[in-house]
Amino acid sequence: MRRLIPILLVAAGCAKAATPPEVPPVWPALIGEYASHQDTVSILEDGGTLHLYRWHGSRSELRSRTDSTLDIAGNAGRVVVRRGPDRRTSAIVVNGVEFARLALGPEGGASFQIAPRRPVEELRREALAATPPAETGDFLPTDLVELVRLDSTIRLDIRYAGTNNFMGTPMYSSARAFLQRPAAEGVMHANQWLRAQGYGLLIHDGYRPWYVTKMFWEATPDAQRIFVADPAKGSRHNRGCAVDLTLFDLRTGQAVEMTGGYDEMSPRSFPDYPGGTTRQRWLRGLLRRAMEAQGFSVYEAEWWHFDYQDWQKYRIGTQTFEEIAKKQ
């Protein structure tokens, strides 16, 4: 597989592509999701133009009439904008029907958070005492590699080592990221290609001990469990073959803005979610292109989560980062 990497990089394209421009400064306060009692809509930007998108599929271009009024293309009506004291849009009125702005998740780099169903330390004690599911078959030897030792230009923002995560409390004892060696090498090559485009990889999570997956499952409400793995099956993170990551701008050193936040449990997390801006969707696509060229596939519910192609060849692990580091 290692010999295929240069070919895949050529196929992905080595010429630097032009990043779409930022939207006008007044638009981010309007772009977002809105709901009435019967329907949900988004205002998004596409190709330098605002659009009204109804979640059942129809989309119409919007044209500004005044500071607080937009016409729907094709003489299809009007959108009236209502703003709060901070000038952020609090609601829109579409042809007389009011849609309140949805607070799907935090913005500005903060993480979406839930209220755990039980105390975290109680969950931790139970998970540490539990045993991962039994597995049969032939597996490859575990060979977990620390990403930053493989490529020092990869940056870390390990959310589960701090409080900026959906649980709101540290889940890891240290901020480290490990992957099985072939997957780690794939991330390294993706990072090298992205740096030629002006971006680098920012890692939020890699190998995850099984006991942490069990804590996530027990803490998460039933309606949101699509976003967490079932410990009875184990996760690809537990096998060292899944990575959560985003891009940072080499020029500014700042993480880029995607359509939704990391670990956000909402439709904005879907890798094909059509909302947001052209720039956000382009950056999301750039990340996906770089990772898919290295044998990864994006998870259907999370734009930031990528699984390595050979994940099923490795066992579920529950060893801590410190236990892994002692062997290296």
| Residue 27 domain flag | no
Domain tally, the chain: 2
* End-of-domain residue from the set 49, 73, 101: 101
> In whole numbers, what is the pLDDT of the chain averaged over residues?
90
Same domain, 45 and 10: no
* End-of-domain residue from the set 79, 101, 123: 101
Q: Is 18 exposed, middle or buried (0-12, 13-18, 19+ CB in 10 A)?
A: exposed
* End-of-domain residue from the set 69, 101, 133: 101
- As a whole number of angstroms, the distance between CA 258 and CA 143 comes to 32
- Point out the residues that are catalytic: 302
Report strand pairing: 199-205 vs 296-299.
unpaired
pLDDT for 15 equals 61
For 33, 80, 105, the CA distances from 40, given in Å and listed in that order, are 7, 16, 16
Same domain, 192 and 45: no
Residue keyed to tokens 């999370």? 302
Instruction: Say whether pLDDT at 7 is over 80.
Output: no
- As a whole number of angstroms, the distance between CA 29 and CA 85 comes to 12
Instruction: Say whether pLDDT at 56 is over 80.
Output: no
For 111, 185, 245, 256, the CA distances from 284, given in Å and listed in that order, are 18, 21, 11, 9
Residues 12-31: pLDDT tens digits? 445 677 899 999 998 998 99
pLDDT above 70 as % of the chain? 93
Same domain, 144 and 282: yes
pLDDT above 90 as % of the chain? 75
Report strand pairing: 77-83 vs 69-72.
antiparallel
| Residue 218 domain flag | yes
Q: Which domain holds residue 90?
A: 32-101
For the CA atoms of 23, 29, 31, 33, what is the dihedral angle to 10 degrees?
160
> DSSP class of residue 232?
T
Maximum average pLDDT range among 217-231, 265-279, 292-306: 292-306
pLDDT for 49 equals 96
154 touches 203 (CB < 8 A): yes
Residues 111-136: pLDDT tens digits? 678 888 899 899 999 999 999 999 99
| Residue 23 domain flag | no
Residues 215-268: pLDDT tens digits? 999 999 888 888 889 999 999 999 999 999 999 999 999 999 999 988 888 889
CATH number for the domain spanning 74: value is: 2.40.128.50
Of 77-86, 150-159, 178-187, 310-319, the least confident? 77-86
Gyration radius (Cα) of the chain, Å: 21
Residues 153-209: pLDDT tens digits? 999 999 999 998 888 899 999 999 999 999 999 999 999 999 999 999 999 999 999
- As a whole number of angstroms, the distance between CA 33 and CA 264 comes to 14
Same domain, 93 and 181: no
CATH number for the domain spanning 174: value is: 3.30.1380.10
